[in-house]
Amino acid sequence: MRARKQALLEAAERLFHLYGPQKTTIGDIARAAGVGVGTIYLEFPNKDAILLELSEAGHRSVLQAIEAAWSSHGRADERLRRALRARTEAFVRLSRHGIHGADLLHCKSCAPISKAHRAFRAAEEQLFVGFLMQGVREGVFSVGSPAVAARALMWSYETFSPPALFLRDERTLMRDLDVLHELVFAGLLAR
């Protein structure tokens, strides 16, 4: 990525985290980056394009954390627990960037962020379908349809995603995550 584009994205991300996507303007981003407004339009057609790129990058980092945790050693159930924990921890890390840190991950009133979130959810579900299929092949999981089970799994963990994720303190959140793991894995494991 070109240095100018990267500098603009970094300035925009700082402002979005401080003031939110709705209140931050192209003029604000230009001032923060030390460039003229026209310079931003050389890199991005509009603010929505900046929001989409930043939101996709944040969601991509969550997917990478999930995949890294799954790729570790151990039985499928252990790897799946780590992947689900890594998912939650990645969301928490991203939310710490400011009062509006979570807005780039989930904002129903912001079309580009909603678009990135929908794409993330579809990619995430496909990852978990693959995880469950592998666990079934290994004889660790017993599910009728990995696709249906993955969708149910994702909905079960929805409260560990933005925006619901941010309604609890981090310690309580992680304790609740462990409790949910116990409930869910009791149903997934082959008997």
* CA gap 111, 130 in Å, rounded: 29
Q: What integer pLDDT is reported at residue 18 of this predicted model?
A: 93
Q: Which residue has the higher pLDDT, 26 or 188?
A: 26
pLDDT bin (cut points 50, 70, 90) of residue 95 is confident
> Which CATH number is associated with domain 63-188?
1.10.357.10
Answer whether 1-44 and 63-188 agree in fold: no
Structural element, H or E, at residue 13: helix 3-19
Q: What's the 3-state SS for the chain?
A: CCHHHHHHHHHHHHHHHHHCCCCCCHHHHHHHHCCCHHHHHHHCCCHHHHHHHHHHHHHHHHHHHHHHHHCCCCCHHHHHHHHHHHHHHHHHHHHCCCCCHHHHCCCCCCHHHHHHHHHHHHHHHHHHHHHHHHHHHCCCECCCCHHHHHHHHHHHCHHHCCCHHHHCCHHHHHHHHHHHHHHHHHHHECC
Q: What is the average pLDDT across 1-20?
A: 93
Q: What integer pLDDT is reported at residue 19 of this predicted model?
A: 93
- Domain boundaries of the chain, sorted by first residue: 1-44, 63-188
Q: What is the average pLDDT across 133-149?
A: 95
pLDDT bin (cut points 50, 70, 90) of residue 41 is very high
The whole-chain average pLDDT of the chain stands at 93
Q: What integer pLDDT is reported at residue 43 of this predicted model?
A: 96
pLDDT bin (cut points 50, 70, 90) of residue 1 is low
- % of the chain beyond a pLDDT of 90: 79
Q: What is the pTM of this model?
A: 0.92
The class (CATH top level) of 1-44 is mainly alpha
Contact indicator for 128, 54 with CB cutoff of 8 Å: no
Q: Which residue has the higher pLDDT, 143 or 99?
A: 143
Break the chain down into helix, strand, coil percent, rounded to 5: 75, 0, 25
